[in-house]
Amino acid sequence: MKLRIVLGICGVAAALSVSAAPAQAQDCNGDGRVNSLDILGIGCEDFDDGAGGMEPIVCGPGAVEDNGLCVLDADILAEGLDNPRGLALGPNGALYVAEAGRGGAGPCTVGAEGEVCYGKTGAITRIWGGQQERIVTGLPSLAFPDSNANPGGNATGPHDVAVLGPGNVFTLIGLGFDPAVRAPDGPLGANGAAFGQLVLLSGAGGNVADIAGFEAVANPDGQAPDSNPFSLFSTLDGHFVADAGANALLHVTLDGTVSTVATFPIRPVDAPPFLELPDGAQLPMQSVPTTVTYGPDGALYVGELTGFPFPLGAARVYRIRAGKAEMFAEGFTNIVDIAFGPNGDLYVLEIATNSLLSGDTTGALIRVPANGAAHEIVASEGLFMPSSVLVGPQGIYVSNCGVCAGAGQVVHIPLPAE
């Protein structure tokens, strides 16, 4: 099955909203089909080519024209997912995806983007043999309530998954708050303790390490306490966790001991014009590391989302050397994940290629060739707030619509030709 998501499904303001096609769409080019301009509600007269028909549609890299639309040239492996996030391949070739869930009836609290409510709707889905199955359910989730324009969207819950051999499945539960919110007398009550944790799901199961608890005690970057464990890279010797809220890369030993590997710098950036600050005013921009992986040289690499004001081209990929973050590649916008290909090429996934501040939900997958050649866009049109990328022997896998409840997908994209 080919991906069929078109521009206009989601829009970002303070929250995500869903747009529907006009009730009476016009067939502009007379071919008996409704095209993308109709779906967006744009009149035919605005796009007349002078001969009474539509101008030819030119699609970007990784997209193809289909029925008047530019769609991602990808196969859908799983759909109907709730806020899909991190991906992992198992030893038997199965693909696993963490679903952050869709929250629930509560209790509720107010976060940076509005009210979120608790429910046990997080899950781990396995994709194997052409079938998708939720093999773990009932995991903690916080998401927008039904009254929100994006009900169940933008969830916090299982943010990543790792599989180490048969029977060892780990997940990383996010938070997105000061760890103090997890107190028993806090707004989430006893449910709060389930967030900010590295969890073993298989066997006896249980919490492996309290990542948010480490932030509360150690606070590696020295800023206001904040924890949102987002990316997990597991090895037989332990785990590496990118805590986006803490601006830190952490290591967890097999016995659950947490330590700081590196922190990531706050950088001054120009204030956006809409703030109407004096000319030349700058703001401190946090790093917000969202992804960690090993590179072909055996070093750790970390990508950053960047914090407000989410400037274009400000996100970087860092190489970790002796506990220090060294800039490896730059010029990206809002990195949400990275992965290395079999030939050493780096793939960078942007959740919003035109900035989270733009309101444009279009993402991008970018290849950074190992030979030093210029960056190349592998895919963009049809990627909507993507949240994870994995490169395997059979190609590239992407979690798409990573902030959508019930509309998330995992798609397969062929590796580009060298």
Tell me the two tokens of residue 410. Answer: 């995992």
Q: What is the mean pLDDT of residues 8-36?
A: 33
Which residues partner with 263 through β-bridges? Answer: 248
> According to the model, what pLDDT value does residue 67 have?
66
Cα-trace Rg, the chain: 21
The position carrying tokens 């733009």 is 358
pLDDT tens figures, 144-174:
999 999 999 999 999 999 999 877 999 999 9
Q: Where are the alpha helices (DSSP H) in 15-151?
A: 36-39
Q: Provide the CA 312 distance to its chain's centre, in angstroms.
A: 17
- Rounded Cα distance between 200 and 10, Å, is 34
Residue by residue, DSSP assigns 245-287 as TTTEEEEE-TT--EEEEEE---EEEEPPGGG-PPTT-EEEE--
- Confirm if 7 and 72 have CB atoms less than 8 A apart: no
The position carrying tokens 């769609």 is 71
| Helix (H) / strand (E) containing 39 | helix 36-39
pLDDT tens figures, 338-348:
999 999 999 99
pLDDT tens figures, 277-327:
999 999 999 999 999 999 999 999 999 999 999 999 999 999 998 889 999
- How many CA atoms lie within 13 Å of 317's alpha carbon, on the beta-carbon side? 26
- Rounded Cα distance between 280 and 177, Å, is 32
- Confirm if 112 and 102 have CB atoms less than 8 A apart: no
On the 0-12 / 13-18 / 19+ scale of CB atoms within 10 A, 319 is middle
Q: What are the two backbone dihedrals, phi and then psi, of residue 215, each rounded to the nearest 5 degrees? A: -60, -40
Residues 6+ apart with CB under 8 A from 298: none
Which residues partner with 156 through β-bridges? Answer: 142
Q: Annotate 115-138 with b (16+ C-beta within 10 A) or e (fewer).
A: bbbbbbbbbbbbbeeeebeeebee
- Rounded Cα distance between 258 and 168, Å, is 20
Residues 6+ apart with CB under 8 A from 280: 270
179: helix, strand or coil: helix
> According to the model, what pLDDT value does residue 74 have?
81
Q: In the chain, where are the structural domains located?
A: 71-413
- Rounded Cα distance between 189 and 268, Å, is 38
Q: What are the two backbone dihedrals, phi and then psi, of residue 320, each rounded to the nearest 5 degrees? A: -95, 120
Helix (DSSP H) and strand (DSSP E) numbers for the chain: 2, 31
- Rounded Cα distance between 235 and 317, Å, is 21
Q: What is the mean pLDDT of residues 228-248?
A: 97
Is the domain covering 71-413 a CATH 2.120.10.30 domain?
yes
> According to the model, what pLDDT value does residue 153 have?
94
Q: Which pairing describes strands 69-72 and 267-270: parallel, antiparallel, or unpaired?
A: unpaired
- Rounded Cα distance between 284 and 311, Å, is 12
> According to the model, what pLDDT value does residue 25 have?
37
Residue 53 has pLDDT above 80, yes or no: no
pLDDT tens figures, 116-135:
999 999 999 999 988 999 99
Tell me the two tokens of residue 54. Answer: 């539509």
> According to the model, what pLDDT value does residue 224 have?
95
> According to the model, what pLDDT value does residue 56 have?
64
- Which of residues 66 and 85 earns the better pLDDT score? 85
